[in-house]
């Protein structure tokens, strides 16, 4: 079974703090993704990576950065947390094959971040 | 730009009834994939079913089937014989063509199964 783990299920931080969210997958997937989920908005893509040290901006990258030093690990960084970054953060991974559901994205359990 | 629309914020269904969750999409790309995910209260997104744009048959996975109407750009999820454990958020998503394989998600539908 594909396993995607995230470092914390719940996190509470203060405005201005630097926040690290870690994601690890054990299926040797090339692609990794960070989403945030807000009520009524579905999931929105923050950043993604298709290879080690490669990163691409998603739809809402402002206020975030990412790091992918190893294939299995993809970190999301909030340089200076703000209250509008209070949200559920979901990490996902997928293989690079294309054309059928074998490239399905598999998700971690999510981190619910509260910024006070 | 690709877009996914789920028009039902919430649905309430009696146990053992069938339920249809609506999803419409918009894309100009002839090659695309459509996914449905389930998100229980625990938060994890669980993959349910996939439909490719060139697939001739509607996808089925156990109690889940996808009513794919390409001309109408709809990809509704049908759950037969609903169970209490089906209560969850359900998301429709579309994959862009190209190497990055990004997904675009709809707003979600909260399904509640009543005993």
For range B85-92, the mean pLDDT: 96
> Choosing among A42, A46, A57, which should be mutated to test the B contact, i.e. which has the most B CBs within 10 A?
A42
CA distance A113 to B23: 29
Return the pLDDT at A103.
Answer: 74
Look at strands B10-14 and B109-114 and give their pairing.
parallel
Residue A67 has pLDDT above 70, yes or no: yes
Q: Residue A2: is it exposed, middle or buried by C-beta count within 10 angstroms (0-12/13-18/19+)?
A: middle
CB contact under 8 A, A101 and B50: yes
Looking at residue A105, the DSSP 8-state letter turns out to be -
Residue A40 vs residue A66, higher pLDDT: A66
The label of the residue with tokens 């999510």 reads A110
Min Cα–Cα distance to chain B from A81, Å: 22
């Amino acid at each position: 079974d594909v396993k995607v783990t995230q470092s914390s299920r719940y996190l509470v931080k203060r405005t201005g703090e630097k926040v690290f969210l870690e994601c690890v997958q054990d299926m040797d997937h090339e692609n990794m993704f960070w989403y945030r989920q807000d009520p009524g908005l579905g999931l929105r893509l923050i950043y993604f990576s298709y290879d080690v040290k490669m990163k691409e901006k998603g739809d809402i990258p402002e206020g975030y950065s990412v790091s992918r030093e190893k294939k299995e690990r993809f970190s999301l960084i909030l340089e200076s947390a703000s209250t509008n970054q209070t949200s559920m953060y979901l990490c996902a991974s997928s293989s690079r094959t294309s054309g059928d559901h074998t490239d399905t994205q598999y998700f971690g359990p999510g981190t619910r971040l509260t910024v006070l | 730009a690709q877009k996914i629309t789920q028009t039902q914020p919430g649905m309430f269904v009696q146990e053992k009834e069938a339920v249809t969750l609506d999803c419409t999409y918009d894309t100009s790309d002839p090659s695309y994939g459509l996914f449905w995910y389930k998100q229980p209260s625990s938060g994890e997104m669980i993959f349910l079913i996939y439909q490719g744009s060139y697939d001739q048959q509607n996808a089925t996975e156990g109690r889940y089937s996808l009513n794919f109407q390409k001309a109408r750009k709809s990809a509704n999820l049908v759950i037969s014989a609903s169970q209490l454990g089906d209560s969850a958020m359900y998301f429709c998503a579309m994959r862009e063509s190209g190497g990055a394989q990004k997904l675009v998600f709809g707003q979600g539908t909260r399904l509640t199964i009543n005993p």
